[in-house]
Amino acid sequence: MGRIICISNQKGGVGKTTTAINLAASLASAERRTLLVDMDPQGNAGSGLGLKRDQLNGTIYEALLNGRPMKELIHSTELRYLHVVPATPDLTGAEVELVSHERREFRLREALRPLAKEYDYILIDCPPSLGLLTLNSLVAADSVLIPLQCEYYALEGLSQLTHTVDLVRQELNPSLKMEGILLTMFDGRANIANQVVDEVRGYFKDKVFGVVVPRNVRLAECPSFGKPIILYDIKSKGCESYLALGREIMNREGRKPPARKVA
């Protein structure tokens, strides 16, 4: 059975979609069958992997609202082992439309169930909110990965998100675990960035990933080319960080990545 990891933070601009795309590519480059599901109406996970909106043959909206099989919505990418289920702005209306549906919190879990044995990892890119789309993602997931920008205000939203995770665990998904907190956009020249790292590591201890993702121009550039960083600049610091994150996640489960880095 594959593992489902939800990538969530209700604060925007923390590197959430960047993490979703590049962690998925890192796992796929290690020949892990990986599916990235875009639950953000902005649809950046798909476009960041080269999908053109006018060429899509289906989106996650159709699975959530119309019951269309998820298999029919899967799109290939440049990486052999990486597939994606895209989103478009149509998904914005799903927050309201889902309210009248029975078991509305379980729609994504039920849609993903047939795919559980076909992928080693299913990553879910959540919207920057704590609405029904994020709730569906948390209910469907085995664990939640929280990207945290190395700035002061980022800490304020962290307690709210961890509280939400606790509530979901109590009420809807008892098996939900904390995959870890990923420190992103780190600038070692800024005192506040180092203070945030020390504070988060001091409080959350082993729940914080060892790798820290730096501010990196190449990471910012690659979405405009529709490529993950591993296909855009494999020698960049940003690429090294996400390859290290993929190894850290696989090594936690005793899975050793093969020697070659690109599928």
Of the candidates 99, 70, 103, 50, the one whose C-alpha atom is nearest the C-alpha of residue 4 is: 70
In a domain, 21, yes or no: yes
Note whether 65 and 97 are within 8 A (CB). yes
What's the predicted TM-score (pTM) here? 0.92
In a domain, 46, yes or no: yes
In a domain, 260, yes or no: no
Number of domains making up the chain:
1
**What pLDDT, on the 0 to 100 scale, is given for residue 100?**
86
Identify the CATH number of the domain in which residue 185 sits.
3.40.50.300
In a domain, 116, yes or no: yes
In a domain, 263, yes or no: no
pLDDT in tens, the chain (263 residues): 789 999 998 888 888 999 999 999 999 999 999 999 999 999 999 999 999 988 898 999 999 999 999 999 999 999 999 999 999 999 998 888 988 888 899 999 999 999 989 999 999 999 988 889 999 999 999 999 999 998 877 777 788 888 889 999 999 999 999 999 999 999 878 888 888 899 889 888 899 999 999 998 999 999 999 999 999 999 999 999 999 999 999 987 755 444 434 43
In a domain, 199, yes or no: yes
**What pLDDT, on the 0 to 100 scale, is given for residue 156?**
74
In a domain, 38, yes or no: yes
In a domain, 217, yes or no: yes
Range of the domain at 203: 3-252
Note whether 25 and 79 are within 8 A (CB). yes
Quick one: tokens of 134?
């994020």
Q: Parallel, antiparallel, or unpaired: how do β-strands 75-76 and 82-85 relate?
A: antiparallel
